[in-house]
Amino acid sequence: MRFALALAVLAATLPAHAQNQWVLAQSTLTWHVTHPMHEVAGTSHAAKGKGTCAKGECNFLIAVPVNTFHSGDSNRDLHTLQVVRGAEFPMVMVRTRLPQSALTSPTIRANLEVQLAGQTAHYSDVLLHRTQHGNDVEITGTIPATCSDFKIERPSFLTVPIHNEIPVDFDVLWRPE
Amino acid sequence: MSTEATVRVFALVFWLQEQAAVLRGICPGRGITLTASLLLIPFLTFAQSVSHPAATDAIFSSSLLPSAELPDAPAPPRPQNAQTQQQKPQQNNEPTLGDLGFTPAQTQANAKLQARLNKRTHMLKIHQTLGLITLAPLAATVIVSSGATPKHSHTSNGTVIEPSSSGVDLHAALGSTTAVLYGLTAYCAIAAPKIAGVKPKGAIRLHRDLVWIHLPGMVLTPILGGMALDQENQGEKPHGIAAAHSYVAWTTVTAYAASAVAVSWPIHWKFWEK
């Protein structure tokens, strides 16, 4: 009887414990650059992330090496790496803190802290969409990043610089650990 | 000199080094140490003659050198190559970069690579600018080329009208200008630092591959033009390889223009949109 009770308690606590730790299973991050003559996007699938929940609050961190973004043109990718000082600051990092209760909502408003090019920018109330896939949770959204947020000198073509806005779309799949 | 006095003298040496570094805006170095040592001579003499510790206390007392009034010491320089990104203090079980399993090579800063990238971009910007400037004399050379070739009249006798010498000279001058600018443009691309492990991919490949057409074309065109001019001056119609001057020139122009478009591809004309 005691053994059965112990098993029942263990079974009840395991899922709860599992959802205290999240790991990034899949990711697609895409930056967009607009120039009057060009519209270019660069994508990376190399992000890694972790989420930890304690006392009703969850902290998430996603990081991705800058040099893993590919736009289909190696020259452009090297230029991108240069302007975002990707050799000096090789990682892009996104942090957020959410109430654990928000993780079950289909839409989440998050405050994001983004580190890029040696600068840190904060984005408030970024809308995230959540979709449940079995145990996994897919989160999609767009970070409304701009070049000026990170003191990035805007590259120009024919003396016309790219637009200041460089939104980053993300589609990440979190898995309970 | 007592041990305490020695320690205090060393402390003073360091403090003077810091002051000198702050004043000169540089980090403490050998020259500063020498300056500080020279400045210390009176203090050293004083320290040796002091018999009562209270006297040295008076020199270094906080009333004489209040710490709040002292400027901050300059921060020591951080070795760039050993620097790793992030290092935000962990709070409330916040995950850190170290938890994610990236290799040190992925997270470590590389100042040398950044310097190479900066130089590469700088040289390629010049390459781009010169390449676009070169388009102007190139187009002009093509436009004035009609004034540098003999014209056949449509009359029954088929008279050949020789080009004016000024027309030929203008064509040759513009062609030479194009060749010089082209050479400078090419130099900037060739001399730009290469980044190891990066294979050309995308539109840049076509841009680079077209070099094999317009580079020999840019060398051959003036040579063939000169040969054709010599033959015309001798009263002969351009023949042999010299007769290919205009064909080689047009191939070069087409390849050069395609190269410029390729590196800009895909082009979306959206000037009317914000």
Contacts of B266 in chain A (CB under 8 A): 38-39
Residue B247 has pLDDT above 60, yes or no: yes
Q: Please identify which residue in the block is written with the tokens 């001058």.
A: B173
Say yes or no: ipTM exceeds 0.90: no
Q: Is the preceding omega at residue B266 within 30 degrees of 0, hence cis? A: yes
B160, amino acid identity? V
* A116, A117, A123, A126 alpha-carbon torsion, rounded to 10°: -40
Q: Is the dihedral of CA B196, B200, B202, B203 positive or negative?
A: positive
Q: What is the per-residue pLDDT for A6?
A: 54
Q: How many angstroms separate the CA atoms of B237 and B149, rounded? A: 11
DSSP for residue B26: S
Q: Which residue has the higher pLDDT, B113 or B75?
A: B113
Q: What is the per-residue pLDDT for B45?
A: 35
Q: Which two tokens stand for residue A163?
A: 């637009």
Query: Which residue in B95, B96, B109 is closest to A90 by CB distance?
Result: B109
Q: How many angstroms separate the CA atoms of A34 and B268, rounded? A: 10
Q: Please identify which residue in the block is written with the tokens 């079974």.
A: A11
For residue B16, count CB atoms less than 10 angstroms from its CB and return exposed for 0-12, middle for 13-18, buried for 19 or more: buried
Q: Under an 8 A CB cutoff, do B200 and A74 touch?
A: yes
| Phi/psi of residue B210, nearest 5 degrees | -70, -15
Cβ-Cβ contacts under 8 Å between A and B: the total is 124
Q: Please identify which residue in the block is written with the tokens 């809308």.
A: A127
Q: How many angstroms separate the CA atoms of B167 and B172, rounded? A: 9
Q: Do residues A43 and A70 make contact, with C-beta atoms less than 8 angstroms apart? A: yes
Crossing angle of the two packed helices B3-24 and B53-60, in degrees rounded to 10: 20
Query: Could you read off the pLDDT of A126-169 as tens digits, one per residue?
Result: 999 999 999 999 999 999 999 999 999 999 887 889 999 999 99
Residue A47 has pLDDT above 70, yes or no: yes
Contacts of B109 in chain A (CB under 8 A): 87-90
Query: Could you read off the pLDDT of B166-210 as tens digits, one per residue?
Result: 888 999 999 999 999 999 999 999 999 999 989 889 889 999 999
Q: Do residues B174 and B137 make contact, with C-beta atoms less than 8 angstroms apart? A: yes
Distance from CA of A54 to the nearest CA of B (A): 8
Query: Could you read off the pLDDT of B38-61 as tens digits, one per residue?
Result: 333 333 333 333 334 443 333 333
* Residues in CB range of A12: below 8 A, 6 or more apart: none
Q: What is the per-residue pLDDT for A50?
A: 96
Other Cβ atoms less than 10 A from the Cβ of B31: the count is 11
Contacts of B202 in chain A (CB under 8 A): 71-76
How many CA atoms lie within 13 Å of A173's alpha carbon, on the beta-carbon side?
Answer: 11
Q: What is the per-residue pLDDT for B270?
A: 59
Q: How many angstroms separate the CA atoms of B108 and B236, rounded? A: 69
pTM, rounded to two decimals: 0.71
Q: Please identify which residue in the block is written with the tokens 């009703």.
A: A56
Q: Which residue has the higher pLDDT, B13 or A158?
A: A158
Q: Which two tokens stand for residue A112?
A: 């994001």
Residues β-bridged to residue A94: A62, A114
Q: Under an 8 A CB cutoff, do A61 and B99 touch?
A: yes
Query: Which residue in B102, B195, B270 is closest to A48 by CB distance?
Result: B102
pLDDT-derived band at B94 (thresholds 50, 70, 90) equals confident
A16, amino acid identity? A
Q: What is the per-residue pLDDT for B149?
A: 73
pLDDT-derived band at A1 (thresholds 50, 70, 90) equals low
Q: Under an 8 A CB cutoff, do B80 and A54 touch?
A: no
Interface test with B, best of A22, A23, A37 (most B CBs within 10 A): A37
Q: Report which of B76, B78, B85, B100 is spatially closest to residue B28, judged by C-alpha positions.
A: B76
Q: Do residues A115 and A90 make contact, with C-beta atoms less than 8 angstroms apart? A: no
Contacts by A15-19 with C-beta closer than 8 Å and gap 24+? Answer: A18/A176, A18/A177, A19/A53, A19/A103, A19/A176
pLDDT-derived band at B155 (thresholds 50, 70, 90) equals low
- Radius of gyration over alpha carbons of chain A, in Å? 19
Q: Report which of A34, A31, A32, A30 is spatially closest to residue A160, judged by C-alpha positions.
A: A34
DSSP secondary structure, A74-129, as one string:
HHHHHHHHHHTTTTTS-EEEEEEEEEGGGGGSSEEEEEEEEEETTEEEEEEEEEEE
